[in-house]
Chains A and B, each alone.
Chain A
Amino acid sequence: MKGRLDPQLVFLVLTNVGILAAGAWASGGVFIDPYNLQSMASQVPELGLLAIGVMLAMISGNGGIDLSGIALANLAGVTAALLVGGMISADDAPLLFSVAFGITAVAVGLAGGAVNGLLIAGSGLTPILCTLGTQLLFTGLAVVLSNGRAVSTGSPAPLEELGNGTFLQVPTSFLLFIAVAALIGMGLRFTPSGIRLLLMGTNPVAARFAGFAQGRMLVATYAISGALAGLAGVIIAARNVNVKWDYGGSYLLIAILIAVMAGVKPEGGHGRMICLLLSATALQLLSSFLNFLDVSNFFRDLAWGLLLLFFLAIIRYDALGALTSRIGWRARPEGAPAAGDAATKG
């Protein structure tokens, strides 16, 4: 991998720079002033964390996908707000409240993700059906617990700091997101478990004969995905002061879009964290740019839908690889046979 450029990475860097430049030009500089950059960065983590969850599920292969992310994030937020809010006063003990809130939400996420993993690995449910079912179940539980109403978390200082604070001019939530992404990215690339996960996604049959504990790996993967959803729930609560069961209606599509744009292959075995980060920022920049152009939300949904189909086509026909090799960059030679494999598999 050394010395060769990943066309996906080059493309994503260029996209980020391109949108920033277009935004700066169209707005006369307002688009890239520190305030706007901060505001954009603080919007990345919620979706970014959910997209990492989708990526991990997709990497595990065999039709892996996690459709329950945003539902679980909302359930985690609602449960934590009700449970912790009922025992600890956010005004009297802000630190204790915030810590307990965070731990509860992540624990709920972890448990929900583990349920996904156990159902998929244990009873052999397909990931699509399982996470569709749990999506409904998690949303339903959030409705039952909150009676369909928004639950206030108040704004204790530490939670407020996570939602709206900055450290060295960078939003705290964004730093947290980068730290989590780096941790998981390194785990994926450098630890035996991470490498096994990628291998299992590439070829589940070979993985079984190689003696991988596939069931345990699936449970761990979906549990991590769930914990990330729980963390997204904490950030949602911190940024909005309220949590509600139906928050983030189009987040599912956008999380999948981020993963696909990052070059994660839906058939499994492939995904890079750095690409996911750049994909998440590119999408946020584009979203803010559309916002700046005063486009309606409906048009934005249309744009996301078309963008997803567009990127599926790019990956299918390896358009980026073809483009970079034509203008002189050397595409990774091992990329070509992998793409061929994928094409014959479907």
Chain B
Amino acid sequence: MSTLASAYTPSTTGHPVRQVLARRPELFTLMLLVALCAFVAAANPDFLRLATLFDLARASVVIGLFALGVFVILAAGGIDVSFTAIAALCMYGVTKGVVEFAPGLPLPVVFTLSIAIGLGLGLVNGFLVHHLRVPSLIVTIGTQYTFRGLLLTFIGTIWITTLPPQMDDFGKVALLTTTSSQGATIILPLFVLILPAVAVLTWWILRRTLLGRAIFAVGGSPAVAERLGYDLRSIHLFIFGYAGALAGLAGIIHACSNRQANPFDLVGSEIDVIAAVVLGGARITGGTGTVVGVVLGTLLVVVINNVLIMAGVPSTWQRVVVGAFILIAGAFMVNRRRA
């Protein structure tokens, strides 16, 4: 790997390890993840139990789906903070609709409905970002409050604690089972497979299609991309639509996984997701990043959020740790460009 790196970037100087990291920042993420896991495992061997790992896998699905959506937007030089509001609206709106109007609706239809609503709201984002020509952060802060306000004002505020049976069952279908230290049976749900599937799809779109080229081109320089003939409008619609659809999917999975639909859930976790993407090596100014990095970044954030307490770090420190990681990783990515 190091010979490849030096062959392709003869101008970079410094230690070979630095050169490899400069070309493949996700290796840095991997090192952080391994180091963190080793630290937690050394402090508390329970970390390596299957039950813990199952919990981590389960927790990674929703945040990972969000992160893949955000990554596609970030690759094109934008940012989105409204996806959690989209997910909450899809989750609660669809669940409530199914409970009240169509309790027997087949599961695939439920999922399609949620994804379609997410897609629609994402397209609204894309349309506004394209036509208002202001930073997408400000537009999506506006739509975040709009979507959430719509949900809580017009759809409902009451927890749905009993899901329709088809959704409830879906959350319980096991891929693997194990027994916890207390003797309870713990399952690895089947839906964890959705994350790798969507990751492969995202990788394929970004690396194997013309659309993917266009997304990275726009992220590198919108002006140049437009002059090359890429249609900015369809790219904006696609990236925000895709992130919206993934948010819809993540929302309905969140409901199935928790076996309840709480309209106040999800909103507030945006920073964790953006942290996951940035920790995975995607630059916030666009044009870079890999799907593998995003998945590693997701695992890193999930580990920080879920098991620091196992290593004896009080849960009050969680935000400080994630915040510090964002700043360190962000500064590292910037310096990579200079190296």
Contacts and interface: CB of A to CB of B under 8 A. Distances in A.
A141 B320 CA distance: 6
A301 B145 contact: yes
Contact of B317 (A129, A140, A253, A316): A140
Contacts of A342: 133
A125 B330 contact: yes
B278 interface: yes
Contacts, number: 154
B319 interface: yes
B143 A137 contact: no
B16 interface: no
Interface in A275-305: 296, 298-305
A130 interface: yes
Contact of A123 (B147, B222, B334): B334
B152 A266 contact: no
B134 to A, nearest CB: 5
Interface in B263-279: 271, 274-275, 278
Interface stretch (A34-42, A143-151, A182-190): A143-151
A143 B137 contact: no
The main secondary structure of chain B at its interface with chain A is: helix
A138 B320 CA distance: 8
Contacts of A134: 323, 327
Contacts of A148: 316
Given A128-B79, A144-B316, A313 B132 contact: yes
A123 B335 contact: yes
A309 interface: yes
B133 A132 contact: no
A141 B324 CA distance: 11
A132 B326 contact: yes
A283 to B, nearest CB: 14
Q: Chain A binding site: helix, strand, loop or mixed by DSSP?
A: helix
A96 interface: no
A304 B327 contact: no
A309 B146 contact: yes
Interface string A59-95: 0000101000000000000000000000000000000
A133 B327 CA distance: 6
Interface string B120-157: 00000000100111110111011111111110110001
B318 interface: yes
B249 interface: no
Given A298-B157, A309-B142, A316 B133 contact: yes
Interface string B146-183: 11111011000100000000000000000000000000
25 contacts: A128-B79, A128-B284, A130-B327, A133-B275, A136-B275, A136-B323, A137-B324, A138-B323, A140-B317, A140-B318, A140-B320, A140-B323, A144-B314, A253-B141, A256-B138, A296-B152, A298-B152, A298-B157, A301-B148, A303-B149, A305-B143, A305-B149, A306-B149, A308-B141, A316-B134
Interface of B: 79, 128, 131-135, 137-139, 141-150, 152-153, 157, 222, 271, 274-275, 278, 284-285, 314, 316-324, 326-327, 330-331, 334-335, 338
- The list of the 8 closest CB pairs from A to B, nearest first, reads A302-B149, A140-B319, A305-B145, A136-B323, A137-B323, A305-B146, A140-B320, A298-B152
